[in-house]
Structure 1
Amino acid sequence: MSSIKLSERISIWNDLHYVPESFFIYRTGLSWHFTPQVVGTAGYAFLNTSPIVDGLLARSEHRPWGQLVFNFKIGEAAQFNHRVRYDYRIRQSVLAGEILDGEWVANHRLRFMSSLRFPLVGRSLGNYKPFFSINNEILFNFGKNIIWNYFDQNRSWINFGYQIPNATFQLGYMLRWVQGSTPGNVTYYHTALFWVTHVIDSRKHKPLKEPENELLHREP
């Protein structure tokens, strides 16, 4: 994940993720920093997802998206982040595990994520300090193609992280439980994760000495 700072108010959001045999996504967007605590982003994402054909993730998805992120302190040490994200998912149709050429299906999705971070050393977050985070995100579907499966999935994860100037590294575990194609059919995924977040400041006249927390401590 990266953030390119263009001005005091504007930055470019990028993130890229790959989960073997599950999905690949590249997401980009333009962010507007209303305040240091509130940031809005709008953009586009491209995905490849299962089924797998000839060893490759074969189902394409186009995803316009937007979000609001709220970021503030709790006491002297903890940092709380809350994010509301909207996805418009345009996906190739699949029937009995086969992709239907030229046929697409679309639906809307809302995502609500909360994250709480604590320093593991000292009493505050900052450069050259490890931290611990607890996170949860719940996702809901809606639209004319959604009949019963309004609940999409829930993601819970814990991370151990380390921050250096302009970058953070996070290692953790995620539990996802995903609604299947029939009522009551839920699949559980246990996932080890490694995330890198990097901040680039393109402003030659104002180097980024102390990156904002929302730029360094983001979740996909």
Structure 2
Amino acid sequence: MSEDARPTGTRKPVTNYGSGRGALLDAAVRVVARGGLRGLTYRAVAEEAGVTHGLVVHHFGSRDALIEEAVDHAFRSSLDVSSLDTGAERAGEFAEGLGSMVETGPDLQAFQYELLLEARRRPDLMPRLRALYDEYFETARRDLARILSRPVDRGLSRLVFAALEGLVLHQLVFGEREVTEEALAELRTLLERLADTDARTTPDTTFDPT
């Protein structure tokens, strides 16, 4: 049965989150978070947003355009709410909002993981995915360089970022924010020790992390 022929009685109740372009893109993110990128259709977004199918068609014109704009929207939103690049100058403040970020925006995080998996099947998604993660990698490098007061190589910044991403994924799947916070406390302790070691062995010079 096509989605247009689906009996209306089988549709889930919807909440009207708004009919503007941004609201429709937010609805698209929620749809993908629940059912993967392959479930992203005009009908699904319309039902999620509580608007007509025709309104979604009017805004985006094609499913490919809907996908592209949803991906770009999610990327911009992800960078805005990232727990990185907070200006932290001490290890004790590193990734301070990570747990709450996952708790308050699980759909956005789930969207990104769905996209990671889908990009393995759709190489056309890779440039956007790579652009997002390059931003993440660079932001993590800057944060660490500011905390350690020295240049940080790719290996260390990726290691720390991988730890953060793993914590996000585990909290997203299992909940247990308290475990995230415990792990972050351990990570911050390790960074503090690394910073102390660097301070004892490195000449006192001014370092610009940018």
Q: TM-score, normalised by structure 2?
A: 0.21
Q: Which has the larger radius of gyration?
A: 2
Q: TM-score, normalised by structure 1?
A: 0.20
Which structure: greater helix fraction? 2
Q: Flag the structure with more relative contact order, 1 or 2, with Cα contacts below 8 A and sequence separation at least 6.
A: 2
